[in-house]
Structures are given as C-alpha cells and as structure tokens.
Amino acid sequence: MDTIFYNGKIKTMDKVRPEAEAVAVKNGIIARTGSNEEILSLGDSDTRKVDLKGKFVLPGFSDSHLHLIYYANTKRKVELSQAKSIEDVISLCQMGLERLTEGNQWLLGCGWNQDYWEVPVFPTRDDLDKISKDIPIAITRTCYHATVINSKAIEILGLSENIPAFSNGIVETDEKGQANGILRESAQNIIWNNLGAPEIEDLKNRIIDACMDAASKGITALQTDDFETFTGDTLDLIITAYKELAAEGRLPIRIYQQCLLRTPEKLQAFLDKGYKTGYESGFYKIGPLKLLNDGSLGARTAYLRNPYCDDPSTRGVALYDQESLTRMIKMGHENGMQIAIHCIGDAAIEMAVNSFEKIMLEFPRIDSRHGIVHCQITDMELIERIRKLNLLIYAQPIFIRYDRQIINARVGRDLGKTSYNWRAYADRNMHLSGGSDCPVEKFDIIPNIYCAVTGKNPENDQDPAWYPENCLSVDETIKSFTIEGAYAAFQENERGTLSVGKYADMVVLDKNIYEIPEEQIKDIQVEMTIVNGVIKYSRG
C-alpha cells in the first residue's frame, strides 16, 4: 500500500460499509476500508501511515457551481464585502488606490452589497469620483450582475458622448440623460472589453492559488464557469492553462468545466475544436454547456412572472427569448452536451422547463443530466415539472444568509415560502447538488451545510430560521456535497463515497457533524484535505 489513513471515525457514505476506522490507498485509489487492525496489516516498510487522531472523515466535498478564475482575480481587487456604507466603499478604495502598482491602469473592487447599508442605495459615478477623477474605477456588486464606474471610466469607455443600446443590459442615466455610472448585466462587458487577459503562466498560477484555497475548505472537486472571466476569445487560453496544469500534475483538485457559450456560433466553434461533455485531461474535464437565462434577485434582474413587489416597474431581465433558448438547448442536446442553465426568477425557470420539455420529448437521449443552476424562486407546480423531467438542481444554501432579508419584499410572502425549497426536492428524490457560486459567496462548505440544515444565518444565529420546513437533514445535506456533486459530473462511479475502487478523496473535520447540536455545525473546522490519497491541505 502507498498510504494508510488510520485511527479515524470514517463515514464512507457507502451503504455496503457505512463506517470504518482506516483506509488503505494504492495509486490514488481506495484499496480497502475497515478496522485499524485490518488495514494496518496491509502495510509494509514503504507504506506511509497517517494517524487521523480520532477525527471525523467524509468523502471530499464537491462544490457544484462557482467561478474559480473569477475568484482568483478578485484576490487582486479591493474587497468591499465588509462595507456598511458608501463612505466605507470610498475609504476602502482610497486605500486600494495607494496600493496600485505601475502598469495597473484601473482600480477594481468587488463584493459590495447596498442592502447591508444603513442607506441601501447604489453608489454612482459621483461617489466614485470622490476617490479619484484621474484613475478609472469599477466596483462590482456582490452578485456580479451590476458594476459602478467613475467619470474617468465613463470617459475612457466613450459613454460620455454616446450610450450604446444593449439587448440584455442597461446603462443607467441621470435626469440629464448622462451615464450615472451604473451598468447592469451585459452592459458591464464594455468595461471588461477594455481590460486584457493575463499571460498563460500568470493564469496558471492564479488557478493553483485558487484551488489551494478551495482545498483548505475540504473541497476536492468543483464545477467552475470560467469562459467569460476575460473578454475576447480566451476560451483556448483557459482550457490550455487547465490542461497544462493537469499534464504537469500541478492541478491540486478535480475540475469540471461549466462551459458558458452564449450563442450558437460560439457553441459551434467549441464543438468544432473537438470538445464536448466528457472530454477529459487528467484532473480537468469538460462538463455542461452553461447558459445564463436571467440575472440576480439582489439586482432585481432575476426574471419574474409578475412585477417585483418592491419595484412594479420591472420584472427583471430575460437574457433569451423562448425560441432562442430552445434553439441553444437543442443544439447542445443534439451534440452530446450536458446542459446547466442559470435561472433564478420563476419566469426564467419556467422558460427553461418549457424548452427542456420540448427538446427532451422530440429528441430523447439516455441520461442527459441537464439541470438548473440556482433554481431559487419556485412554486410547487414548477418543482413538479422539474421532477418529471429528472432535471438536476444546483443549489446554493448559503444564499439565504443574504436573500432572507429581501425575498419577501421582492416576490411576496406566498412565493417566498415555496422558494429555496430544498425539502421539496429531497422528498421527491430529485438530484440536488450543493454549491457556493463563489465569489458571490465564499466557497466554504461548512456554512452552506449549516444553512441547509438550520435555515439560519451562520453570521447571526439569533435570527429565526428561514422557513425551517424547507430544510434538509445533516445526512441529506452531506449527500448533496458529496454523492450528488459526483453524480452531477457523471463521476458517481469514481468519487462521492469512500468505497473500494474509487478515488481516495477525503476531508477530515475536527468534529463529528452527525453527533453535535445543529447550532454548532458552523464552527466545524477542516483539519485535512486529501486528493488521490495525497494530503493537499493540513490545518496548522
């Protein structure tokens, strides 16, 4: 044996042998699980033996939806998530201005959320001009569906003379008809078009850094949407960076790429390169075609059936019409692509279900595993239609930390109580995988589990539970971050449980999550993360 991990309290999630004390690993694969005595007897003088010191062990966590390279880039931006006011934003950006190095032409910030402020209003160019009128500034809201820029940025982007129309985006204007600095949805691309992509070695280092951060949270596999992190045609750059890291053995965790390709032309060019779901290069694998069908609830761009209760002038933004969405799904489906569609509002979800119903009936395919990412605003009829199609749900339980403050105001109490309804999915035996949507939220699995189990805010557990009848059990939640995460990537036979013949991907926790009170789940610490039998992270 190469390595033996022993003296642990191991929950394998395998019904055949649900518990063990030790695991034997050979060539990155689990060779045997069992008692300490049984497994230690398999070792020899060359076997590395790792004492787990009685700690609790689970299969490695899987994050089913995030933006890894986008997260890597945010580490180079001004972090604004702790801002409590526009004044805080200005102060933090002024400090960031002092750290700008020569060659950085823009000051970039991210993570602010006006709903946490005493005066919950969007900043404008006038506010950012207090930071600087000479250096272009762009700060992106936590949802990444809205960005605010200053006057210098407006000038550089040509928005002071002419405001272009965007089919799926908005450049807001003031009473004089001039750009006020707020850009929503696809209008933000005018900013990113002005910024270039990094060189490949720089990008590879960013990926490694981000993967190691994920490993520190017990994540051994993730699904990431990266293709539009940079503007221009950078698809080959991103895929090449991942493939080279995999070939060099430097990719720390398993990557399943969610392929954001918005148009038939982009999808066809991708297919023409020989890529489709299942293409694999070591730890890097091509996953589903990713489509964006609406925006976010916080920015009021999630597409609703009815007008927003707190802003009846809008129903949000639909990024496709029904015919165009059906065309994209048909094209992906017929070419062997798994499909995952970002839908937050109930109208966006309904559109996706309508298109899936049509295509899956006309062109049946075995085990397509199509799904809906987020799937937040739902009623029971929509959930039942999703069940009948056997669509996957990619949920982010951590979203209730923030959305609990706004959902009833946005959509009304009746619709709010049937939304974020993980219980309904579990009761109907639907495939529910858990994710973080990092960097919208931190890719920390433990707070996600806490939210799913308790319905509470991990940062303020004195708040009442958010519709506790919609919560999951501990076991159901762990399953969503292990077994179901693997299933969503067509890898249930390779990972997700600690079973003989599967990858030795494990997370070691300082407490047994099954035995402690639910209120203490949020305090659990990751002690160790193991991928292919190799320790990738060890606390302290």
Looking at the structure, do residues 29 and 97 belong to the same domain, yes or no? no
Looking at the structure, do residues 85 and 151 belong to the same domain, yes or no? yes
Structure confidence at residue 104 (pLDDT): 58
Looking at the structure, do residues 334 and 371 belong to the same domain, yes or no? yes
**Which of 192, 209, 244 is where one domain is finished?**
192
User: Which are the contacts of 79, defined by CB distance < 8 A and separation ≥ 6?
Assistant: 92, 109, 110, 111
Global pTM?
Answer: 0.88
Closest to 485 (Cα-Cα) out of 335, 367, 369: 369
Looking at the structure, do residues 33 and 85 belong to the same domain, yes or no? no
Helix (H) or strand (E) holding 272: helix 264-272
Segments of the chain scoring below 50 in pLDDT: none
Looking at the structure, do residues 101 and 38 belong to the same domain, yes or no? no
Structure confidence at residue 362 (pLDDT): 96
**Angle 189-193-195 from CA coordinates, rounded to 5°:** 120
What single-letter amino acid sits at 97? L
Q: Exposure string (b/e) for 445-458, b if CB count within 10 Å is 16 or more? A: bbbbbbbbbbbbbb
Structure confidence at residue 540 (pLDDT): 77
Structure confidence at residue 272 (pLDDT): 97
- Counting the structural domains of the chain, the total is 3
**Angle 9-10-13 from CA coordinates, rounded to 5°:** 145
Q: How far apart are CA 343 and CA 350, in angstroms?
A: 9
What single-letter amino acid sits at 318? A
What single-letter amino acid sits at 497? T
> Strand ranges (DSSP E) for 273-314?
280-281, 284-292
CA distance readout (Å), 135 to 7, 127, 501: 57, 14, 56
Looking at the structure, do residues 508 and 458 belong to the same domain, yes or no? no
**Which of 426, 457, 472 is where one domain is finished?**
472
Looking at the structure, do residues 382 and 508 belong to the same domain, yes or no? no
Looking at the structure, do residues 390 and 504 belong to the same domain, yes or no? no
- Specify if 418 maps to a domain: yes
Q: How far apart are CA 477 and CA 521, in angstroms?
A: 12
At 525, which CATH number?
2.30.40.10
Structure confidence at residue 52 (pLDDT): 98
Q: How far apart are CA 9 and CA 53, in angstroms?
A: 9
Closest to 444 (Cα-Cα) out of 83, 191, 66: 66
Looking at the structure, do residues 89 and 177 belong to the same domain, yes or no? yes
**Which of 427, 457, 472 is where one domain is finished?**
472
Looking at the structure, do residues 82 and 50 belong to the same domain, yes or no? no
The order of strands in the sheet holding 137-141 is: 78-79, 107-112, 137-141, 146-149, 179-185, 169-173
Structure confidence at residue 474 (pLDDT): 98
Looking at the structure, do residues 42 and 88 belong to the same domain, yes or no? no
Distance of CA 30 to the CA centre of its chain: 28
Looking at the structure, do residues 423 and 523 belong to the same domain, yes or no? no
Of the chain, the end-to-end C-alpha distance in Å amounts to 27
**Domain containing residue 503:** 1-54+497-540
Structure confidence at residue 24 (pLDDT): 98
DSSP 342-358: EE-SHHHHHHHHHHHHH
